[in-house]
Each structure stands twice: as structure tokens, then as C-alpha cells.
Amino acid sequence: MSAILEVKTAVEGFRLWPGALDAQAQTDLVDAVFARLEAGPFYRPQTPGGRPFSVQMSNFGPLGWVSDPVGYRYQPTHPETGRAWPDIPPVLLDLWDATVGEPRRPDACLVNLYREGAKMGLHQDKDEADLGAPVLSVSLGDAAMFRIGAAQGGRTTTLRLDSGDVCALTGPARLARHGIDRVLEGSSRLIPGGGRLNLTLRVAGISPR
Ligand code: MD3
Ligand code: FE
């Protein structure tokens, strides 16, 4: 994790490591993800308003983020199979230790799959018990246009996230508004069936400091 690039955005605490994962590491991680999907398949959550997300999701770890007409929350089981989520790939825990400087380990890894036309509107991540803990995100497959702006509103910055890029959200960036405006379809051949994968590590539950 040598080349730390502080990307200029309106948001302090956003760190980006472009190309943190080389081609082999990306392939290995995709394999680790797909091996776990048999036990925790992608599904399409509904918004609290009852509309389907365009992004397909699954989770790894003790807790997983879900959304349905009841609301947003973390829960220990897959909403469709009722099974516990698969474990977080160990390589992601190593990446957490090497980047965020947070002694607590993440207990949730949200897996987002963007197939054709999928996007994610501007939002804040506020469903975790301690909003002081950082978030770490890994992008794989097709590139995406990512937008981020301060929690309070105002201007946003757009930047491209490529396969193998890793970003950390700490401090003021933790409550930043952010979203995926579009995926550059066909820009990578990494993901079986095409598209983009995003893995997001979080400390979601209550864990003592
Ligand atoms: C900024 N995922 O899962 S990753 C999400 O590419 C989410 O799938 C997007 O937003 C994706 O909630 C963006 C980069 C990211 C992840 C978490 C953040 C940016 C963030 C949390 C707080 C602030
Ligand atoms: Fe988010």
C-alpha cells in the first residue's frame, strides 16, 4: 500500500489507492467472492418504498446490510435463504489491517454487483452502530463514475474507480454523500458474466473500542 494518492475532493478523509490490487490479486479475489456466492447468492433488495434496487447484493461476515419495505438494517442471515452469510475473504481482512489503521475488525462486507444499467443514487451510509469507524471499499471489473460530496451538501466531485482500486472513508468522509452515476460497460473482462463488483468492509455492529 505504498502509493497513497490523496485525491482532491471537497471531502477530507477520502483516500484512494489506485491499482492497489494487481491483476493476479483481482482474479484471486473474484474467485474468492464467487466461491462464496453459492452459499449466499446475489439477490435484488427492495427500497423501503418497495422499488427494486438496480444493483444486486449479497454480504459476507457476521452481519449483512439489507433493505426491504421494513427499512435498512444489518442482520446475520440472508433474507432469501435464511442462512448465515459466508465468511469475509481473509485477504480483505489483511487489506483492512494494511490500510485503515482501525483496531476493530470489520464484521460486515457488502457485495454489490452492477450488471447492465445498474447505478446507485447519492446517499449516506448511516446504518452502522458506530459512525466513527472507517469504511474500506474495493472495486473490481468494469470501471465506474463515482460521485462524492460533503455530508452537509454543496458541490460534488466525480472520479473514475477502476478495477483494483481501493478507497478508505474516514473522519469527515465517513458521512459523505456518494453514489455511482454509471458503470462503463465492457471496460473490463474480469467478472464472469460482465459488470462491476464492489466490496465494502464496515464495522456494523456494536464492538468495544
Ligand atoms: C463514502 N457503494 O455500498 S463504493 C455502498 O461502488 C456504496 O458500490 C458504492 O456506496 C459502490 O454503500 C460506492 C465507495 C464508498 C463506499 C462507502 C462509503 C464510498 C463511501 C461510505 C461513506 C462514504
Ligand atoms: Fe454507500
CB neighbourhood size of 26 (10 A): 22
Helix (H) or strand (E) holding 38: none
> What cell numbers appear for 203 in the block?
464495522
Looking at the CA of 56, which ligand is closest? 1
Range of the structural domain that residue 22 is part of: 7-202
The response to whether residue 198 sits with its C-beta less than 6 Å from ligand 1 reads yes
What is the Cα–Cα distance from 60 to 64, expressed in whole angstroms? Answer: 7
Q: Considering the domain boundaries, does residue 1 fall inside one?
A: no
Q: Considering the domain boundaries, does residue 43 fall inside one?
A: yes
Q: Considering the domain boundaries, does residue 102 fall inside one?
A: yes
Residue 180 CA, ligand 1 centroid: distance in Å = 8
Looking at the CA of 57, which ligand is closest? 1
- So what's the pLDDT on residue 95? 98
pLDDT tens digit at each of 209 positions of the chain? 545 666 666 689 999 999 999 999 999 999 999 999 999 999 999 999 999 999 999 999 999 999 999 999 999 999 999 999 999 999 999 999 999 999 999 999 999 999 999 999 999 999 999 999 999 999 999 999 999 999 999 999 999 999 999 999 999 999 999 999 999 999 999 999 999 999 999 999 987 66
Q: Considering the domain boundaries, does residue 189 fall inside one?
A: yes
- So what's the pLDDT on residue 206? 83
Q: What is the CATH number of the domain that holds 65?
A: 2.60.120.590
* From 56, 100, 137, 183, mutation site for ligand 1 pocket: most ligand atoms within 8 A of C-beta: 137
Per the annotation, does 123 bind a ligand? yes
Split into its structural domains, the chain has a count of 1
The response to whether residue 138 sits with its C-beta less than 6 Å from ligand 1 reads no
Looking at the CA of 173, which ligand is closest? 1
Q: Considering the domain boundaries, does residue 209 fall inside one?
A: no
Q: Considering the domain boundaries, does residue 207 fall inside one?
A: no
Q: Considering the domain boundaries, does residue 13 fall inside one?
A: yes
Q: pTM score, two decimals?
A: 0.96
> What residues contact residue 175 under an 8 Å CB cut-off, 6+ apart?
124, 125, 126, 131, 151
> What residues contact residue 26 under an 8 Å CB cut-off, 6+ apart?
140, 163, 164, 190
Q: Considering the domain boundaries, does residue 16 fall inside one?
A: yes
Residue 166 CA, ligand 1 centroid: distance in Å = 11
The response to whether residue 56 sits with its C-beta less than 6 Å from ligand 1 reads no
Residue 39 CA, ligand 2 centroid: distance in Å = 24
